[in-house]
Structures are given as structure tokens and as C-alpha cells.
Amino acid sequence: MSVLNRILWILIVSLILLPILSHAQEPLEYIENLPNLHYEGSDTYQDGKIIILFTQRNNEIKFINTKLYLRIVFVNRTVLPIEINYNSFSFDFIPECDVNSFDCNILFTPKALIDGYVLIESRLGSSPYREIIVSWNGIMHKKFNLRDNYQVITSLDSQKEFLITEIKNATTLGCRRFTVLNSNNSNSTINEEIETFSISKNITMYQHSSFSLTEGGFATIIFSVTKSNDLIKLTEIHIRFFKSNNDLALSKQYLLYSSISGKFLTIIGGCQNTFDGSGYTFFFSDNDGTNLSLNDYFQIHFLSSGAVTLIDNKAFDGYNPDIINYYTAEIVPLFYGGYIGYDRFKLENSSIIIFDDNINVKGILNRTFNLDVNGLKAHIIQKQSLIWFIDYNNNNYNWMINFYNLNSIDIADSRYIYQNLNIQGTFPNINENIQIPSLTSSNSLDFIINYNKPILLSNGNLTIYQYLNESIISRQSVSGISELCKLVNDTAVYIKIFFSTLHQINVKYGIRIDNDFVKTSLNEEPLFGISEGIWNFKTCKF
């Protein structure tokens, strides 16, 4: 492309790709009463809660004390302050630096786990030093010394499980699965299960990417290479599934792709769960290590059975590196489809880019942003289609969070309202008042869920709960394969609800639907459910 044509192309893109993000709601401002606060990092829980970590430092360098200050920002905009003193630990949580060292850059990073828990990492520069799991009451539960390639993945229901994976050495993948017991109790404990896996003693693992499964559990994509005399003979991509309710040792592994091109394969962005029952997608490139512009880009689509349904070796044919270099970009899948990303090697551009499902550029947000090691994904509130950034001056006592719409879906769309890509509507509607007739006329009524595709009933549960002050009480739970559920016209589920479940008038109730309550009839992929706090209704007299 000539210089003139390239300049013209950039001008056209600048005119077409207007910023598509706008302020979504009023900023949240919080005033602290602690001097010399230093912003360390942040992350976002799956339900939209935000966690921010501060320390106190002199001149933003030397620590004043040994305290970590966590701030949990709830969806209702209240803030929970938490204080942790790592001097009380029986081990060194931060690295020691030489007295005369000019390169002692100690950092802290929070990583959101499930509700009530956070992993905090101490780093020396870019290298992890220690990791701890603490609860929101300030109690430390676990400590680790993980490798710098480790990843933390939480289950989609954000209730009990999370997974830590790491490539421990050239031939071994390490997995730790954690299950919180009595999560709603102050005496909750964390059960830890540890396993290691190898593909073959002659195969070298060099990259992995872990993600959550719709039906529960996790999976890890593993990139490996086989060499002979330092020449690449075979490059492979495997996937290992860690299903819930199965021991880690019983996990199953499948081959997704293999290549004898003599090039390294590298994943681009994370693996996208489409959440519409069509399966999972990820992109990767191959490169011989000499010229990044000569990359070929591929797309793989597969199901939770491990079956590969698509390999596209012509992905990104129309991309232009003047906008973004996919090889050096962080690209994050979005819940309602598409991706968001930025070029890690072009931070001076301060551009965040919105992509469609095929990673074609849809729009650009030009604004200044500072990202810690958690990257862009830590600032995305997926189901609300929001992105947020913190504005903080370490010389002041206040910080502010600004929220922006991703505009990935119309807020009037039923998929946004139910935070589910497959639901068209329900009876009762959200926040509807339903009349409860006399028990002598009938002893039950049908609740209805209408889906936008043919489905099959599965073994997840639908649970009706009652709001009582600040807590909830479970009133009735029905499995998808129960005789109380009936499939109508392939796309609707009728659920028989007992009037005794709704025995009080003028009371607020809610309905939670587990993932895998239904499956698609096309490929029997589990479908996403409805989280707590979304499908609510009230009862009134007939």
C-alpha cells in the first residue's frame, strides 16, 4: 500500500469509526480519609461488583505501613472497605529489595474470585512473588507461589467454584480447583483439589487459555510443540475439560488442531462462549518468528463434547495493522457477542476497539486509560454491557469511577433484560403482579419461559425464592427433567408452580434458573440460565 493510499485509508476509517461509547450512568465518587493512598489495581466480579486495591506510600514509592486497603463497589453503588495487614502473616508476602536498589518496584494486584473472596498477588516488577486468597472479612485462607503464566477462572454462576491453572514446566499443566463450602456462612471453608496433566513426555507445552463452561466446570486450551534438532515438527492444540461434580483426575482431553507447517501457533484473545448454544470459538495465528506481518489467522469452533465444527483458515483477511495488530493485541470476548480490545504495543494511541463476532472493527473509543497486569478484561461489566475506568490522583483523598456503554445490545432487547441470549419472554413478566386465586379453585399454576430456538429439557433446576428483609428463602425447586416441566412447541417450557409456594400476598419473589436447565435441540449444547435478582415478581389478591 502506498503512503498516500495508507493516509487516505486512515482518514476514511477515522470518519467512519466514530466513538460508539457514551457515558452510561453518573460517575461514582468516593472520598477516603487516609493520606498517601496509592492505587494498585482492580478487577470486576461476574455480577458487576468492582474491587479496587490501595496501599499507602510516601511519594508513591515507599510503603508507609504493611496494610492493604480493598474497596468492594456493589452494583447499588455502596462501597465496602476492607483492611488487611500482611505483617500478621507467618510468611513473607512481599519480596525483599537490596537497600541500594533503584529497581525495586513492588506491586499488588487483586483478582476477583467468587462473591466474598479475592486473590491478591504481590509482584516484583513484572514477576509474581506470592499469591493469597482472602475473604471480604479480611481472613486469609490460602497462600501460593505460582508461575507467571497462571490464570484464574471463576464458574459462570459465581457461587462456589474457581480454578487456577499454570504451566508448571515444559511438559506439565497444573490445576487447582477450589470449592467454597457453606458460602453463606461466616464459617465457610475452601476445599482444594490439585492435579497435574501431561500430553506426552516428548511434547512441550508453551501456552494455555482457561475458561468457564456453560453447564458448569472449566476447560483449558493447550498449545504444544514437538521438535527435532531444534526444528518444529508438529504443533498441536488440545483441550481438557474439567466438568463439575467430576474429580479433576477424570477430566478428558481432545485434540482440536494440528499443524506440520513448522510455525508456532498463538491464541488471539480468549475463548468465546457464545452463550446461545452454538458452542465455543477462539482465534489463533501461526508465525515462523521472523515477520509478524506474514501471520496467517485461523478460527476454530467446537462444542462441549470436544467435537470441532469449524476451522476457518481465512480469518482476518480484511484487517489493517494501522488500526490494530492482532498478534500484539489483548482481545476480550463480550457476553452479547463481539469482542473488545487494544494493542498492548501501542498504548500511546489510547484507543479501545470494538469488534464484531469475526473481529472486524466496529468502533473506537479514544480516551486515556491506565491498565494494570489484569488488562482490559478487568474493567468490563459483561452482562450490563459496560466498561469502567477509575480516575484517581494519589495526592488527593477521592477517587471516581466512570462508566461507559459498550452498546453491544439494545437495552430494550429481552436478551439484555433477562441477561440471557436465548429468552424471548416469560410469564410472569419481570416485576409483574400476579393474582393468586383461592386454593379451592386450583392448587397450581403454570409459569412459562419462551426461548428463541428449539430446545430440550435438561437436568438444571428452576428455583423460586422469597425475599425476606436482606435475605432470601428457597420456596420450590424444579428440575428441567421433572414431571412438573413440560416442553410446548419445541421452544416453550411450562413449569407447574404450587400455590403453597406463593402462600403470602403482597410479597416479592424471585426465580433463578440454573445453566443447563435446557439444551439446544440442534446439538444438545447447554443453555445459559437466569441469575438471581433479575426475574422478580409480586403476588396480590385475585
Q: Are residues 312 and 423 in the same domain?
A: no
**283 touches 359 (CB < 8 A):** yes
Instruction: Write the single-letter amino acid at 34.
Output: L
Q: Are residues 283 and 154 in the same domain?
A: yes
Residues 395-444 have pLDDT tens digits of 677 899 999 888 888 999 999 999 999 999 999 999 999 988 765 456 77
Strand partners, 107: 123
Which residue carries 508456532 as its cell? 264
Q: Is residue 221 part of a domain?
A: yes
E strands within 189-289? 189-197, 204-212, 217-228, 231-243, 252-259, 264-273, 280-287
* Mean per-residue pLDDT, 32-50: 92
What is the reported pLDDT for 378?
Answer: 93
Counts for the chain of helices (H) and strands (E), in that order: 2, 40
Strand partners, 477: 463
Give the residue numbers spanning the domain of 281.
Answer: 149-317
* CA–CA gap between residue 117 and residue 136 (Å, rounded): 6
Judging by beta carbons within 10 Å of its beta carbon (0-12, 13-18, 19+), is residue 202 exposed, middle or buried? exposed
* CA–CA gap between residue 228 and residue 92 (Å, rounded): 42
Q: Which of 175-184, 208-217, 341-350 has the lowest mean pLDDT?
A: 341-350
Q: Are residues 424 and 312 in the same domain?
A: no
Q: Is residue 331 part of a domain?
A: no
Q: What is the mean pLDDT of the chain?
A: 86
* CA–CA gap between residue 424 and residue 421 (Å, rounded): 9
Q: Is residue 164 part of a domain?
A: yes
Q: Are residues 157 and 280 in the same domain?
A: yes
Last residue within a domain, chosen from 283, 302, 317: 317
Last residue within a domain, chosen from 285, 317, 349: 317
pLDDT band at 536 (very low <50, low <70, confident <90, very high): very high
Q: Is residue 210 part of a domain?
A: yes
Q: Is residue 77 part of a domain?
A: no
Q: Are residues 296 and 158 in the same domain?
A: yes
Last residue within a domain, chosen from 256, 283, 317: 317
pLDDT exceeds cutoff 70 at 467: yes
* CA–CA gap between residue 81 and residue 262 (Å, rounded): 53
What is the reported pLDDT for 373?
Answer: 81
List all residues 6 or more positions away from 200 whose beta carbon is below 8 Å from its beta carbon: 171
CATH of the domain at 506: 2.60.40.1220
Considering its fold, how many domains does the chain have in total? 2
What is the reported pLDDT for 2?
Answer: 39
Q: Is residue 269 part of a domain?
A: yes
What is the reported pLDDT for 535?
Answer: 97
**95 touches 77 (CB < 8 A):** no
Q: Are residues 291 and 431 in the same domain?
A: no
pLDDT exceeds cutoff 90 at 499: no
Q: Is residue 381 part of a domain?
A: no
Q: Which of 352-356, 457-461, 512-516 has the lowest mean pLDDT?
A: 352-356
* pTM given for the model: 0.88
What share of the chain has pLDDT > 90, as a percent? 57
Judging by beta carbons within 10 Å of its beta carbon (0-12, 13-18, 19+), is residue 195 exposed, middle or buried? middle
Residues 116-147 have pLDDT tens digits of 999 999 998 888 999 999 999 999 999 999 99
pLDDT exceeds cutoff 50 at 15: no
Q: Which residue has the higher pLDDT, 181 or 521?
A: 521
**430 touches 419 (CB < 8 A):** no
Grouping H, G, I as helix, E, B as strand and the rest as coil, residue 448 is strand
Q: Are residues 304 and 180 in the same domain?
A: yes
What share of the chain has pLDDT > 70, as a percent? 87
Q: Is residue 69 part of a domain?
A: no
Instruction: Write the single-letter amino acid at 208.
Output: H
Whole-Å CA distances, 360 to 320, 332, 353: 10, 13, 10
Top mean pLDDT of 282-291, 324-333, 394-403, 527-536 is at 527-536
